[in-house]
Structure formats: C-alpha cells, structure tokens
Amino acid sequence: MSFNVQMFLTALSCNGDLESRIMIDPECFDPEDTFSPARCSYAAPQLCGTIKGLLGVAGVGRNVVRAGGTNGLGRRSFIWQSGGELALRYNRRNVLGFSTDFAEDVTKTNWGMEFTWVGDTTVLDSNSPTNVSDVQTYNLTVSVDRPTFINFLNPNRTFFFNTQWFFQYVGNYHNSMPQNGPFNVLFTFAILAGYFQDRMLPQFITIYDFNSKSGGILPSVAYRFTENFSATIGMLFFFGRTQFNEMPIRGFAPNGNRAGPDAYRDGVDNFIGLIRSRDEIFLRLRWTF
C-alpha cells in the first residue's frame, strides 16, 4: 500500500498547474517524462513536492524489529506518533569509598589512592524500552607527585611533577550505552615551577582519555608584578572525536529524516570531546585588596 500511495502522490505533484510550471519546476510531475532521474518522476519520487511534504511531517526510527523496523529499514512514523515522555528524577546515590596516602622513600614520591563504589547508577541505554539502565561503577584514582631539582633549568627551585590516573569499571555495561566502557582510563600530567622567588609561575598540564581518544593541553604563565597586581597568560587546547552509537528503539525526541551510512546511529561526544571546539587563548589580570 505504501508504494502505491507514493506513486499516487508522485503523479499528483503540481497536478492542475499550468504547463509552463511543469516544464520549469523540477518538483512537478511531467506526464511526458515519467521516469526522469533528474526531476519528479516515478524513478525519483523524493524530488516531488508532494512527497517532500509528506516526508517533512514524518521521520524514521531504528532499523530493528523491536522498534518496528524490518528488512534493514527503520519504521517511518509521523512526528506526532513518535517521541516519548521524559521524567526527571534526582535519585539518591549510595557511595562507598576508601582512601590512603603515603610517601615512598626509594623514588622520593608521594602517593595518594582513592577507591569508590557507586551502586545503581542510571545511564542511557538505546536498547532499553525506557532508554535507561542501572549499572554499578567501580572507580580507582592513583595520584603520584615528586618535587625534583633540574639544576640547568632552575638551580634554586624544584619542579613539581604530578600525575593522576583514573580507572573505572562499569558493571552491567552494554555496547548500546553511549558512554565508553566497560573499562575506562583517564590520566593527567602536570609540571609546575617557580622563578624569581615565585613571582613567575609557569605550569603545563595535559589530560587524555584512552577510550574516547580525547584530551587537552593547558599551558600557562603567571607573573606577580606587585603584592596586589598579577597577570596570567595561557592557552586551552582540546581535541577529541565524535563516536557513533545505535539510535534508541524509542527516543524521547520525535523521529527525523535520516540518510547515509550512519542513518540509524547517533553521534556521541564523550569526556573532553564534548568541549573540543572550545580552544582559548586568554589573558587574565588580577588586582587584590
């Protein structure tokens, strides 16, 4: 029936209009050229004004049977038939954690460790009829720092090196969840130094997440002219990528028209990739009193 309706609407495109418009407007059906691939015809119905109007009030859903799709194609629904209700809830989170820190004399480093377990965390899940699922997250943070003299760079002041590693395991993880998992690793590395009795403070910070392949480089230099006036100049450079995840079987937003190889997938920006277009060069002046 849908194919017959499509052919019927194609033949009715601009029906009753002047012959001159039929010859000029490619959205009009030409009875003398019914299979032209370059204008509205039986071979190219997507170019017809009537078909465009119908597609404008309809969208395509996911191409799986649970979402009403079949034969690799998503179900097409009118926009008022798709979408869903969204309820905002701020649930209580149960967190159990342990922490410790100690100094290690052989390498002259300071260590800090924190472990947390967060139960029943609600995350998005495109395969769930409710669009969400509950997971368990296990998080381990390891921080290591070491003050180090580098005499040829600064014989009077140590360089402070610090690195932090964030390990996360997501229990009950599924590939249909837009976040990365089940095992995630993110690290930061920072170098801080001081010159001219700490009036000039340069620092260099990097951050990188392995699964999302996103991160940032954050160098800056602060200089204190007087006890009251100081200036800081720096740069924030971020990088990342857009990942693709299966579209929900029943999304909150009405269905839209999609095309191309990723028609049934949604773009996701995780971790630093979310702000990869927010690079900055800044100058901050500060007066204290």
The mean pLDDT values, 10 residues at a time, for the chain of 289 residues are: 85 67 76 88 90 86 86 83 82 91 93 94 89 93 94 90 97 92 96 92 96 96 94 96 90 84 90 92 95
State the pLDDT at residue 21: 59
Q: Which of 245, 236, 224 lies closest to 282, judged by CA?
A: 236
State the pLDDT at residue 46: 87
Per-residue pLDDT reduced to its tens digit, 55-103: 888 888 888 888 888 878 888 888 888 887 888 888 888 899 999 999 9
State the pLDDT at residue 168: 97
In angstroms, rounded to a whole number, what is the distance separating the alpha carbons of residues 92 and 94?
7
Q: What single-letter DSSP state applies at residue 17?
A: S
Question: Residue written as tokens 């600064």?
Answer: 154
In angstroms, rounded to a whole number, what is the distance separating the alpha carbons of residues 168 and 186?
9
In angstroms, rounded to a whole number, what is the distance separating the alpha carbons of residues 192 and 242?
32
State the pLDDT at residue 15: 63
In angstroms, rounded to a whole number, what is the distance separating the alpha carbons of residues 187 and 178?
21
State the pLDDT at residue 114: 97
Query: Phi-psi region for residue 271, left (φ > 0), alpha (ψ -120 to 50) or beta?
Result: left
State the pLDDT at residue 30: 84
State the pLDDT at residue 14: 80
User: What angle, rounded to 10 degrees, do the helices at 2-11 and 49-56 form?
Assistant: 130
In angstroms, rounded to a whole number, what is the distance separating the alpha carbons of residues 95 and 139?
11
Instruction: Give me the residue spans of the domains in the chain.
Output: 2-56, 94-287
User: Model-level pTM?
Assistant: 0.80
